[in-house]
Amino acid sequence: MIDILFPDDGTGYGRLSSSWVRFQRSRIVRNYRILAIACIVLSNITAPVFGAEARHTIDYTRNVDPFIGVDWGGNTFVGSAIPYGMVKVGPDMQSFDGRRSGFGYSSSGVILGFSHLHLSGAQGKYGNILVAPITGPLNLHDIKTPRTDEVNQVGYYAARLTRYRVKAELTSSRRVGFHRYTFPASQQSHLTINVASALSLGTDWQAQKFLGAEVHLTSNHEVQGVARFTGGWNRGGEYKVFYYMVLDTPANATHTWSGNDLTAAQDVTVGPDTPVGASFDFATKANQIIQAKVGISFISAEQAKHNVEQEVPAWNFAAVHNAATALWNSELAKLSLTGESDSQRRQLYTAMYHVMLMPTDRTGENPDWQSTEPYYDDFYCIWDTFRTSSPLLTLISPDRQRDLIRSLVDIYHHTGYMPDARSGNDNGRTQGGSNANVVVADAWVKGLKGIDYEAAFAAMVHDAEVPPADQQKEGRGGLKDYNEKGFVTLADERSGSRTAEYSYDDFAISEVACGLGKTKETALYASRAHNFANLWDKDMSVEGFKGFMRPRNPDGTWAPPYLVVRGTWPDFFYEGDIWTYSIYAPQDMRRLIEMAGGNEDFVRRLDSTFLRRHFDVTNEPGFLLPMLYNYAGRPDKTADIVHMTLEKAFSDTRAGIPGNDDSGAMSSWLIFSTLGLFPVAGQDIYLISTPSIPDASLAMGNGKKLRIVAKNLDPNGLNRYVQSATINGVDLPNAWFRHAQIKNGATLMLQMGPAPSDWGRSTPPPSMSNAASPVCRK
């Protein structure tokens, strides 16, 4: 049913104009036609979810709480989005004392409006095309409101804007934000669109900058144009956001602004740092609903309009919301839990949701080149996600991971490098190594099909051999010293963390080289995989332990030890310290443990790292640390640290993520750790820790499942130690297993107990120094 509000003399509209009547008549005809189309579109979207295989329809989305992680640096997105959707429409806010949120949302403060592009788990980019409903006099310098009755569900956001007495509701498709506003009775109601607004605007070297915009009012219910920005955390070049907004109700009057004043101009073009936007003005009845659809494109305003017509043809808010819910259910159904607590259920399904918000699928929206390959943006950043998010998608969404890698390779073809980070259709910044190399290797060793591995290998070699013009943008900084001397010197920033990461990246290249039969390249990059040892000072002593990574001067001599707790861009270690990076060598933990004095000394070092709080769970370089006990024959200590970390650092509250979620990196760590597994990214190895749920399954892309059953597990975590294990009924004496053992579906059965056992102690996970090196597993 389509409601049309016919004004009477008491509304302030005056008499109906003939143009308004013609508009409504044509609207009725058009909407009845496109309602049929919408039903077909919705049925096509939901068919994979609600088809013959899933008629029992479980609503997994009710387990998701998007507010988990919004506080204390989690920076998780609040609003509406579909999986990997380009549009993420949600509130942009500032504190009551005027400080803007860097990622959009704030648990306290005022709403400035609802913008259409956001990150999740990070900040410093986007916040573009800001829509705000207003009642009362329109003051361009004072558009903000407290809110109450706030709701965020999967594909839906709502809040009551108390200053304006308006209920705001949002939903979305891949490239369209759908707004529904319920107004009070008011002679001065407005729907504004601010195209100069963005998050983190300023003059700082990491700030976004507004370059200019166009606003074109094409009718009394339509506006379109483009807004231009540059910068942000990734220090990217100019990106253009094209928009098209259409309302279901014609305005009594329209205005634009450029600068500080409203005008009657229908077309406005401005340059940098000039406020610009448009207002649709109404006299509304009590509870009158005005809806708006905002299409976004990186190609053109015409494409933005086409996106609206294609994705959301009807004025059916519920249908769009239901379609978003169906898409999310198809993704969330890949996780199945039995015996979990309510808190665990909320945490894990929310974590799945967070993992699938980014990168964003911009296939068909690439402004820089035409290609038949998938196109994804907002790899923000691979340095964060390669460790856990990528292996998770390889396991449960192999088709998606295939397309992500194909996109990375295509970006290499057109920009010269696979990015370590990318946003706003531009590469940058590179925090550590060229970690797309590990992403490719992870797919290769696990048999992911549909990727041109020869082309991917060429991209990997380019990373390893060609120095970039801008070391923070892409490629490997300090590459000349690394390749010639075997380490990055203090002539370049982040020389310690880069050397450690480049060593592992080169191991990844050697794996793919071997699989492709490239003998010479296999030997070359395998030899570089031990370059981490060239910064190891065996005589450096800290807190009773000997042997740490230490800086080297450009002439190769030792520089003073670097003891900063958590470095940043110009430092020796990036977002980590000697306790983390000195023992980061997953390609050859056997050799590293020998360098550190053997198993017993290494275990004592790990004990000290955790007891003295050198372990930083809030950042990705430490993700693997709790699992390193497995390499020294003490999986029981891994169980202790994983259990403690989950209990202490994660919860189902707004502060439930201990640091930046970083595009789902922290969330994917939570998923693996709660299930009792951990991937060694770039290898076909999974390490076993301790499950926190008695029965859990991950649906794999081939229709099979990986089921993890923990027998005798108690809810308090006392029986956290594995006593014995089997895979598909076959004894598993090791605290690790290979992907090949689960790729066709598997049940991992773990017998749990209250005290450590001898299980898992005898055979450590593979290392390059083993007689059977893991480099060349085809």
Q: What is 594-647 written as a DSSP string? A: HHTTSHHHHHHHHHHHHHTT---TTSGGGTTGGGGGGGGT-HHHHHHHHHHHHH
Residue 343's Cβ-side half-sphere holds a number of Cα atoms within 13 Å equal to: 12
User: Tens digit of pLDDT for each residue in 325-339?
Assistant: 999 999 999 999 999
Alpha helices in 685-729 (DSSP H): none
**696-737 residue pLDDT tens:** 999 998 899 999 999 999 999 999 999 999 999 999 999 999
User: Which pLDDT score, from 0 to 100, does residue 702 have?
Assistant: 86
pLDDT bucket at 37, cuts 50 / 70 / 90: very low
Q: pLDDT-derived band of residue 771, with 50, 70 and 90 as boundaries?
A: confident
Distance in angstroms (rounded) separating the CA atoms of residues 621 and 632: 20
Residue 21 pLDDT grade (very low, low, confident, very high; cuts 50, 70, 90): very low
Question: For the ranges 28-32, 66-70, 358-362, 382-386, which has the lowest average pLDDT?
Answer: 28-32
- Fill in the amino acid letter for 704: K
Percentage of the chain lying above the pLDDT 90 cut: 91
Query: Would you say 585 and 496 are in contact if contact means Cβ atoms under 8 Å apart?
Result: no
Confidence (pTM) = 0.93
5 burial type by CB count under 10 A (0-12 exposed, 13-18 middle, 19+ buried): middle
pLDDT range class, residue 8, cuts 50, 70, 90: very low
11 pLDDT higher than 70: no
How far apart are the C-alpha atoms of 576 and 534, rounded to whole Å? 19
- Cis amide leading into 7 (omega within 30): no
Residue ranges of the alpha helices (H) in 243-375?
Answer: 301-311, 317-332, 342-355
Which of these, 548, 527, 531, lies nearest to 539 by C-alpha position?
548
Confidence label for 777 from pLDDT (cuts 50, 70 and 90)? low
Residue 537 tokens read as: 């000072």
SS3 content of the chain, % helix, strand, coil (to 5): 30, 25, 45
Rounded to an integer, the average pLDDT of 349-377 is 98
- Give me the pLDDT at residue 774, please: 73
Task: For residue range 75-89, list pLDDT tens digits in order.
Answer: 999 999 999 999 999
Asked whether residue 674 carries a pLDDT value surpassing 60, the answer given is: yes
